[in-house]
A and B are shown apart, each in its own frame.
Chain A
Amino acid sequence: EDKVVQSPLSLVVHEGDTVTLNCSYEVTNFRSLLWYKQEKKAPTFLFMLTSSGIEKKSGRLSSILDKKELFSILNITATQTGDSAIYLCAVEALLDMRFGAGTRLTVKP
């Protein structure tokens, strides 16, 4: 059965810390892996990864995919309180998109 596992499930850090969020997956007919940020209600798109080893970067956020080991990481450097959110990993397979349970990140001042 296809599955997406995120770790940790929750994380509390202080402003300025660097965090790494993990997403491992087992799906058939992998197409892409996506990261979303969910602050209040609606998840918003961060990255889509399709190729191994190519880092995607947006400001203090970056992400990379390892298709051999079947995982992705999302890095956030110099965290700010505004980074507090649930971070969702989703894997697109042939016919559907499967989400992980999410990592709840809390950044304290």
Chain B
Amino acid sequence: DVKVTQSSRYLVKRTGEKVFLECVQDMDHENMFWYRQDPGLGLRLIYFSYDVKMKEKGDIPEGYSVSREKKERFSLILESASTNQTSMYLCASSLYPRVTEKLFFGSGTQLSVL
């Protein structure tokens, strides 16, 4: 089975801190994604990546950056955390060269910014 692992289940940070969310997949998938999930808004795409060192903005990239130095690892960075970035963050990966197809999700990181 594909495994997508997010490094933290729960994080509490202070406003202005730099935050790193890590995601690792073990099935050699080409595509990796970062979403945030908020009640009533569903999943919204922050950034995605088709390949190592490649990144594309999603719907809501403001306040975030990403890094993909290795194929299996996709990091989401909050340069200066703000309270409106309190959310559930979900990482996902997919095998095929097309953008999406079936996504495999990590278990999520609930981030609280105080």
The chain A residues found within 8 Å of chain B, CB to CB, are: 4, 6, 9, 31-32, 34, 36, 40-45, 48, 88, 90, 92, 94-102
Bound-state CA distance A32–B100 (Å) is: 10
Asked if B103 is at the interface of the complex by the 8 Å CB criterion, the answer is yes
Residue in B42, B58, B104 whose beta carbon sits within 8 Å of that of A96 in the complex: B58
B: residues with CB less than 8 A from A are: 4, 9, 35, 40-45, 48, 58-59, 88, 90, 98-108
Which residues of the partner chain A approach B48 to less than 8 Å between Cβ atoms? 96
Would A34 and B42 count as touching, CB distance under 8 A? no
**Total CB contacts across the A-B interface at under 8 A:** 63
Instruction: Tell whether, in the assembled complex, residue A45 and residue B100 are in contact, meaning their CB atoms are under 8 Å apart.
Output: no
Residues of B within 8 A of A102 (CB): 42
Q: Which residues of A contact B58 (CB under 8 A)?
A: 96
A6, A97, A101: which contacts B100 (Cβ < 8 A)? Answer: A97
Q: Are A45 and B103 in contact (CB under 8 A)?
A: yes
In the assembly, what is the distance between CA of A53 and CA of B4, in Å? Answer: 33
Q: Are B42 and A100 in contact (CB under 8 A)?
A: yes
Q: Which of A43, A95, A96, A98 interacts with B105 by CB under 8 Å? A: A43
Q: Do A92 and B108 form a contact, CB below 8 Å, given A97-B45, A100-B42?
A: no
Q: Is the CB of A45 within 8 A of B107?
A: no
Report the Cα distance A32→B98, complex, angstroms.
12
A34 to B9 CA separation, bound complex (whole angstroms): 26
